Structures are given as structure tokens and as C-alpha cells.
Structure 1
Amino acid sequence: MRQLDFNIFETDVPVIKPSKGRILIAEPFLKGPYFSRSIVLLTEYSKQGAVGFVLNKSSNVYPDEVIDDLFSFKGELFIGGPVASDTLHFIHTIGEALPGAVRVTENIFWGGDFDRLKEMINNDEATFKQVKFFAGYSGWSPGQLENEIKEKSWIVAELGDKVIMESGVEDIWEDTLKNLGGVYKTWSKFPNDPTRN
């Protein structure tokens, strides 16, 4: 049998370091309900650890079904990760108009005055195109994420703010890998269960 002289999991693409505002793309065979074929936006990254939100796991629930005094919000509630799944978090493009918001990228902010946000949504000053809600979050202790990246569980990349805020996220994992090109385009075509291929 002839041996192949390449490894489809090895890339010659320079490794990008994780930082606030960058994304983590799960490698094709990373398992689990939270991280399988997921994309995570890092909202905090330091020597103390990392925090982020899974962008492409819908809960099939609408925020106005679980948030008191929130009316007619048309966006979905996403599953942000396995940590504190009974807590609510949000990212948005409202910016500093929402007191207490923390800048993550040029246009995306994390958190802020929740009561003021509800007022803005109820008064049609903010819509689902500007706000994304998450149940729970993804967290890593010091050194944990770096180890997972070394083990090739995650690819660190950048993603445009517009794509991050989109609500139709069914194909975001595949599309993002395709856009990276090279071996990542091949990864995007891997079946969910290779034993059934």
C-alpha cells in the first residue's frame, strides 16, 4: 500500500494567536453538543483565561419567551456555551449608547445596562439585527485554551462583524472554513460521521 506524503490535519498557514474579538473554529471531529462544528467569538482573553460565546448553536427559543418585560424581539436565543447555562448574555452593535458596554471589535460590544437594552428593544430603538442573546457562555482557565489550540482542537481566525451578528448561522462553520482556503476547504467537506460515509 502506498503511503501518502501529506497530512490533511497539518497546515502551512501561520498560526494566529487568540485575542479578544477573534474567533475559534472547531476542528471537524471535535465532539460534544456545545462545540461540535462550532464557532466561538472571544469577548475576553488574558493570562487569567478566556470567555466567549458560541455563535452558531440555536436553542430554538426566542428571548422574549424567557425574558420578563421584553416584547416582540425577533431574534433567536443562542446557546453560548456550557458554563452557567442558566445565565443570559448579549453582544450588540449599539455601542457606548448602552452604558457599561465593553468593546470587543470595532463595531461589536459585550454586555451593558440590561434594563436600558430592554427599553431600547421595546421602543424599537434596537432590533435583532443589532443584538444577539446567549444562554450560558464558554470559558477557559489560564493556559487551557492555549493547550487546546496546540492540540489542534481550534483554529484561531478573524470574522467580519456583519457575519458575527447574522442570525442565519446554519452554514457559518462550513463557510468560514471554505473562506480560509487550502486544507481548511477540505475540512469543511468532512462528514459529521465519517463511519457513515
Structure 2
Amino acid sequence: MEFFKYKNHFKPEKGRLLISEPFLADPNFERTVVLLCEHNEEGSFGFVVNKPSVLKLSEVMEDLQQWNEVVYVGGPVQQDTLHFIHRNTAIENAVNIRDEIYWGGDFESVVRQLNREEIASRDVRFFLGYSGWGPGQLEEELKEDSWIVCDYVDDELLFDTDPAMIWKKALDNMGGRFSIYAKYPVDPRLN
């Protein structure tokens, strides 16, 4: 049965998290949490939700000069593109990812609503680039135990949790052995 071939019994799908294994060797994804926005036979993509960049939104977008919120590194693919997730259903053409979590929509509407303070900046996360996998690539990485698939996702975890704590909190929320993973040191030689 396909359901049980995954290490934690969840298959990847839109609205779930990919949590990197504690000792994942890829420095691009060390202690990373990716919100999957799409997963199908053509591939998968999402955004790293816990890696702030050094850039502020005002440095990236001329139309948002008064906003000093950090822009996140969404992943290693096309880092010259800007994307966003939000918890605001008033943005036209937004794609519902899960519950109160949305991806994209009319960018001009977001800019206008932010500038008019109709939506709070804490309710929108901007990303440079994204994380993407070709057909079957994510499944191969799951077989190699690179990722843990997490079904515990809510807007509080993504928008209200300190980014440095998202990886740990997501694992803690899963309980069992995953709570133990959350306590692993970054470098076990320093333990």
C-alpha cells in the first residue's frame, strides 16, 4: 500500500510540510521546513518557510518602501522571482493551500491592501525563489529519508512562530520519535 512506504506514513501533498531530517547533508535544506503548494505527477513545489534572507521587503519592492519586514528564501530555484503566501481570503485569484493558508493571487491587490493597512504585514510572507522537484524526484528523496512529511500545518505555525523555531515546533507537534529529532543538536560533535 503506497501510504505505508513513507517513513512517517504521510504522503506528500499540497498543504503538507516537508521537514528536513536532522542530519540532511544538503546545506540548502539544513533544518528546513517547506510548505508544499503543489504535488502531482509533473513534480512538486513549495516555499521554505523558516529561512529569512538578509533583505527587507522595502529593498525588493519599490511600491512597499515603508515595509521593513524580512523577505524569506523560498528555495534555490529562480531566486530572482518574488512569491507570497498569506492568510487573507480577500486577495483575488489566491490559491487555497490548506485551511486559512493561501498562495499568491493578485499582486497589485496585496500591495494596495498592505499600503492601506487593510491587511497586516504579519499575515503575508514574501519569498525570493522557490523549492522545486521534477517528476518522481521528491519521492526519491523521501525513499532516501531526506524528508519527513508533516500533516500538522496551520496559519499560526507559518505566520506567528519565530522562523528559527518552526523546524523544532513542527517536529515537536508530531510527537513520538519526531519530538526526539527536534532536540538533536545541529552538530552532534559539539554535544
Scaled by the length of structure 1, the TM-score of the pair is 0.88
Residue identity (%) = 45
2:79 corresponds to 1:79: no
Aligned to 1:181: 175
Cα distance in 1 for partners of 2:68, 2:13 equals: 31
Q: Which amino acid is the alignment partner of residue 123 of structure 1?
A: R
Q: In 2, Cα distance between the equivalents of 1:22 and 1:87?
A: 23
Whether 1:60 aligns to 2:72 is no
Deviation per CA, 1:26-56, whole angstroms, max 9, x where unpaired?
0001133431001000011111000100010
Mapped to 1, the partners of 2:160 and 2:69 lie a distance apart of 10
1:34 aligned residue? 28
**Structure 2: tracts of 5 or more residues without a match:** 1-5
Q: What residue number does 1:157 align with?
A: 150
Partner of 1:90: 84
2:138 is aligned to 145
**Tell me, what secondary structure is at the counterpart of 1:64?**
helix
> What amino acid is aligned across from residue 172 of structure 1 in structure 2?
I
The structural deviation recorded for 1:190 is 1.5
In the TM superposition, structure 1's runs of 4+ consecutive aligned residues that sit over 3 Å from their partners are none
More helix by share: 2
Looking at structure 2, the residues matched to 167 and 78 of structure 1 have their Cα atoms a distance apart, in angstroms, of 14
Equivalent pairs counted in the alignment come to: 185
What CA distance in whole angstroms lies between the structure 1 residues aligned with 2:53 and 2:60?
12
| Post-superposition offset of 1:196 | 2.8
Q: How far apart in 2 are the matches of 1:66 and 1:104?
A: 25
Give me the TM-score of the superposition, normalised by structure 2.
Answer: 0.90
- Letter of the structure 1 residue corresponding to residue 79 of structure 2: S
Asked if structure 2 preserves the Cα contact closer than 8 Å seen for 1:44 and 1:52, the reply is yes
* Corresponding residue of 2:113: 120
Mark the structure with the bigger radius of gyration: 1
Aligned positions of 1:94-109 closer than 5 A: 94-95=88-89, 97-109=90-102
Structure 2 vs 1, CA of residues 45 and 98 (structure 1 numbering), >3 Å: closer, same or farther? same
Distance 2:128 2:20 in 1: 20
Supply the RMSD in Å over aligned alpha carbons.
1.7
Structure 1 residues 36, 64: CA separation in 2 closer, same or farther (over 3 Å shift)? Answer: same
Say if 2:49 and 2:158, in contact at 8 Å, map to a contact too. yes
